[in-house]
Chains A and B, each alone.
Chain A
């Protein structure tokens, strides 16, 4: 069942890539959309079959692959991966719908998007360290090409920067995986949370450090974030949707799965510093976003800030904060996808994303009123206004983290306040006021351009009003993650002997 989620898109990519030239571009797009729709249906079927009470892996698949290397094809699903799997299919579909019907070289474009979908699904499902790494790297090349071929004016620079950063991230993660396996004397790369406990704390710190920096680049956290604004600005709208909505989640997923779960002892010791790092990232993202004049850069920096919340919650590692982590991943995925899709429409219609030039786009007949209204909804959700998904996730995170790191949590909450500042700046400058004469004759926004955003917006409100539909799938897993964590982590925290040698 889980393999289907990986192989359906791969098969689709092959079909799309090999479709003869006589087939109209429109139909190529349809094949891609049908492929992802099938994957989405499968993922939803998995959701219905998922047992919310079981703590362990479900739907496991285990095939030997390269035994001497310790590489097995082992897939499994738990409450951490489940929402991300659905999010991946959903946002890929949204990205496909946001793609212009007249995109150049559609066969290559759609197959690359499908490969990304497969790779991300694989990474979320893999329960073999090496297999995860393979999928993690597999996603890199198509994304590089999607930015480098279909990107904006400085796409060469942005895509190369992305490639270098993410490749370094991959190398660090690989080093950590190899180190963990070899140092602990394991014979395979099976995912085993108990492995690190055989290692001395110093080795754990080094390995966790590699993991943190590796995934910190992907998330991205300050000061490893510099590739992200460039990549977003140059990437086309659907690719930005994918990048912010799904690919960044690989980083936060890795942080929980391979940081917190694989190195609980070291994690517990580093947690206060991680919380400080989170605060720096949150505030840096927020303050930098305030200074931006490019709408896309502003949304990109808001991502840096909002991803910081996840690090804070992961550092706090309470049942509520971990639930908040997963919720924030989904919530940020939906909200940033919505914002990027809308910025894309504004850019397509006005030819600029500069908030010092744009004005009055809410003008009812000649402006972009529906796009503007959705944008207001999106920024409200992002700023954590109750009734939308952003409120639930941020509330869970702050409520969960406050007991452990009160100061850091309060400082992060300032970041939420600042979200309202920069997004109000954006909305106020761009959408209110009188439409300037240069924009008085904007082309029409078609329903096909609005529908993806409308669906995402509906989901943002729906999950904001009914968060239990999401919490329900994850709660058992995050609580179980923590039951392991607290038994391992607690003695260390109060054991002066094992901490002393560090100083």
Chain B
């Protein structure tokens, strides 16, 4: 393979070179592979549960303004309620946190569709059907016409993320099965698997219909043209991996000391940037996800964690670090999938364009956790 004649001069040139020669953001190493595949297996199981619940909320809790039992998937029993209060359960709050991040940051076709008049028309139809027998809500809606509309927008995001995660969950579980069968032997294989998954599902339509009474109202019809890759996957990566929200109580910024970038969109807290150390503390969303994943960690990864200095005591921090590594693999797949030209192109002009494209990604990743993961022993920081 012919590499571009000059080496990149970017501060992260090493990573640019690695990707250009077919590698990933995360360096190859046997430990990295175990961590990434192991944690993605667990993540796959958790995502499956999240996506089922998100779709349940979107479909069955439509305009329920006090959704007390939204995490119960329609099965409200005393046993389940006690388990819920005991907190030994899937923390569905995390999936809502991601949904809200995506809704807040917007981007992609879904965001613009939800602002279109077509959406408003379709949503109003469903709203009217839903509230026609509810005097209080009906009047509330007249006073604040945007209130219920915004609730519907949120339901759309519930549904969209649910559909997105169903695909991702299957993809990760399949990856784990292939690893168990000996088909996945390197980080590169993981990236290829994810990339293939994203590309194969790229054109999968994202739709949302809700049943009120006997009639189904299509709020996002297939004709809206929303697709898996560009309208959910890409905005999701942007919203959750990059921007996200600051975690309360974990860090303070001094704006006067220029600790906050001038342009707000360069202020990143997302999964690729988050500090894994506060994980385990109450009130920060990653704790919820890591807690959920502890239940489904495969034995080979558990063994790796047990051998480290603090054993199982800091397992959630360790899972978080592994999770960030795996998300860099997903990001690599997304970067490769969205590259202007195939990464192994021989055309110097295309190579130069790819180089510029990769460097623009590296600019974004300069302050991410990626830099830490370049050394060999990262689990211990």
**Which residues of A line the B interface, CB within 8 A?**
360, 363-366, 434-435, 437, 440-444
Contact = CB atoms under 8 A, between A and B. Distances in A.
Contacts, number: 43
Nearest to A444: B310
Interface string B315-336: 1110000000000000000000
Nearest to A360: B277
A365 B309 contact: no
29 contacts: A363-B277, A363-B278, A364-B278, A364-B279, A365-B277, A365-B279, A365-B280, A365-B314, A365-B315, A365-B316, A365-B317, A366-B277, A366-B310, A366-B314, A434-B250, A434-B275, A434-B277, A434-B278, A437-B381, A440-B277, A440-B380, A441-B309, A441-B310, A442-B310, A443-B309, A443-B310, A444-B309, A444-B311, A444-B313
Given A363-B278, A441-B309, A441-B381, 9 more contacts: A363-B280, A365-B315, A437-B381, A441-B310, A442-B310, A443-B309, A444-B309, A444-B310, A444-B313
Interface size classification for chain B? 10 to 19
A48 B280 CA distance: 46
B11 interface: no
Contacts of B277: 360, 363, 365-366, 434-435, 440
Tell me whether chain B's interface is mostly helix, strand or loop, or mixed: loop
A223 to B, nearest CB: 42
B251 interface: yes
B348 interface: no
Nearest to B318: A365
A437 to B, nearest CB: 6
Q: Which 7 pairs from chain A and chain B are nearest by CB? A: A364-B280, A365-B280, A365-B314, A440-B381, A365-B317, A364-B281, A444-B310
Contact of B317 (A366, A434, A444): A366
Contacts of B281: 363-364
Contacts of B313: 365, 444
B31 to A, nearest CB: 16
A366 B380 CA distance: 10
B115 to A, nearest CB: 39
B1 to A, nearest CB: 38
A442 B278 CA distance: 14
Interface of B: 250-251, 275, 277-281, 309-311, 313-317, 380-381
Residue of B277, B278, B310, B380 contacting most chain A CB atoms (<10 Å): B277
A434 B309 CA distance: 20
A360 B380 CA distance: 17
A440 B316 CA distance: 14
Nearest to B279: A365
A225 B281 CA distance: 42
A209 to B, nearest CB: 55
Contacts of A363: 277-278, 280-281
A50 B380 CA distance: 57
A437 B381 CA distance: 7
Contacts of A441: 309-310, 380-381
Contacts of A434: 250-251, 275, 277-278
Nearest to A369: B280
Contacts of A442: 310
Contacts of A435: 277
A454 to B, nearest CB: 17
Residue of A365, A434, A435 contacting most chain B CB atoms (<10 Å): A365
B303 to A, nearest CB: 18
Nearest to A437: B381
Residue of A360, A363, A366, A435 contacting most chain B CB atoms (<10 Å): A366
Residue of A360, A363, A435 contacting most chain B CB atoms (<10 Å): A363
A435 B381 CA distance: 12
Nearest to B320: A365
Contacts of A366: 277, 310, 314, 317
Nearest to B311: A444
Contacts of B314: 365-366
B305 to A, nearest CB: 12
Contacts of B381: 437, 440-441
A69 B315 CA distance: 69
Residue of B311, B314, B380 contacting most chain A CB atoms (<10 Å): B314
A442 B275 CA distance: 17
Contacts of A444: 309-311, 313
Contacts of A365: 277, 279-280, 310, 313-317
Contacts of B275: 434
A360 B251 CA distance: 11
A441 B314 CA distance: 10
A182 to B, nearest CB: 65
Contacts of A443: 309-310
